[in-house]
Amino acid sequence: MKKKCRICYNKLISILNFKKVALSGDFLKKNKIKNQKRYPLSIGVCKKCKHVQIQNIVNPKKLFNFYEWETGVSRSNINLISDLLKNLSKNFYLNKKSKVFEIASNDGSLLKEVKNKYKSFVLGIDPAKNLLKVSKKNQIKTIVDFFSYEKSKKIKNEFGFFDFCIARNVIAHTPNPNDIFKGVNNLMNDKSIFVIEVPHLESIYKDNQYDNMFHEHIGFHSIRSIEDLCKKNDLKVVDVEKIDSQGGSIRCYISKKNSKFKKNLKINLFLNKEKNIGLFKLKTWMNFSEKVNNHKKKLNKFLKELKIKKKNISAYGASGKGHLLLQVCQIGSNFLDNIYDKSKLKQGKYTPGTHIKIIDPKYIDAKKIDYLLLLSWNLAKEIAKQEKKYLKENGKIIVPFPNPHIFK
């Protein structure tokens, strides 16, 4: 178990223990269910910088070599991408002369858009071999590997500096964030902008989103923790915005420490808000496990009452956070018949830890399913729109956070 903070290397204090859970990406064929591996999972907070993080390390190769999440599958995600690119072109002059590098470029959805719309030079890096086929189809040059400072030296040799380095939902996943920041710094000059998107600790705390705390999500970030990372690696945050992603994320624009970019004063407002709700007090996190337990009880009670009334319940969204929630709350075939998910890579397989069959949402039928527990609750609006027919025929959707309730 990890005892030292990933940002400042001071001591970690344990605040939450989920015992052993299966990895959120470990989907199984039926005959493999018996051999499901489970790994300890506990959460700690740094005594000094108060960065909240996972204490157990699983070999990243196990987590990301076969990745079941495709960027291009979610409509909301496509919207976030085009919104980001508009900002980059308006505020930071993304254009056909720009060079754009994306870390964890996944299926190449973002870079494809950059290439088609802005005609820039693009390069991606991603460890998932299975996604290479998709990025090849998108004609995006992709290095199949993890990004690191070492790797950045080779990239710099071959391609030089980049005007934009983008890491969406990467920093939260990395066991050594300082190394990523150092590597990106190596690819930047005084005009470069580094964009990151991370789930915001403020939302995680306020809405009690403990389902975000699974092995793939290693660190839970605030503006303060991002500023700490920047300071350690000669960078600075120049702008920030809150975005509707992963249940509430922040998008930070970062430059070299000595660049001419001025710091937007908005950043201080964000920092003050984080401080005022107590995100950097130990006491806040010492009480977190009680908040988690209360939510667990509420969700179980909610489902039990439906079962007593002989209602049929299934779930929607075989997402990483969903598998953590089901495992921690011990919701399996005792409550759920099936789980529906649009990803063809997941359909026909069984969910990690809880072993529920995953089925194509086109089979959702209000005659057979009274309630759908929405595990990808951050996409509630998008999924409700998509499941209009089900809702119209009196099917109900349960949103588990902040407290379990019926979607209206």
In the complex, the residues that contact Zn ion under the rule CB under 5 A are 5, 7-8, 10, 46, 49, 51
Residue 4 Cβ vs Zn ion, minimum distance, rounded to whole Å: 8
**Cβ at position 12, least distance to Zn ion in Å:** 8
Q: How far is CA 12 from CA 50, 74, 215, 325, in A?
A: 9, 36, 17, 24
Beta-bridge partners for 400: none
Packing angle of the helix pair 149-159, 177-187 (nearest 10 deg): 20
Q: Measured between alpha carbons, how far is residue 239 from residues 78, 108, 187, 277 in Å?
A: 22, 25, 20, 21
Contact 340, 315 (CB under 8 A): yes
> Could you give the CA distance from residue 40 to residue 373 in angstroms, rounded to a whole number?
26
* Least Cβ distance, residue 287 to Zn ion (angstroms): 20
Collect all residues with Cβ–Cβ distance below 8 Å to 376 and sequence separation of at least 6.
Answer: 316, 317, 319, 321, 322, 383
Task: Kindly tell me which of 7 and 303 has the beta carbon lying closer to Zn ion.
Answer: 7
Between 3 and 344, name the residue whose CB sits nearer to Zn ion. Answer: 3
CB of 282 to Zn ion, least distance (A): 12
Minimum gap (Å) between residue 8 Cβ and Zn ion:
3
Closer to Zn ion by Cβ: residue 10 or 76 = 10
Nearer to Zn ion, 177 or 395 (CB): 177
Q: Would you say 89 or 284 has its CB closer to Zn ion?
A: 284
CA geometry: angle at 113 spanning 111 and 116, to 5°? 110
List the one residue out of 244, 261, 260, 242 whose CA is nearest residue 252.
Answer: 242
Closer by beta carbon to Zn ion, 8 or else 324: 8
Nearest approach in angstroms of CB 318 to Zn ion is 33
CA dihedral (148, 151, 156, 162) in degrees, to 10, reads -40
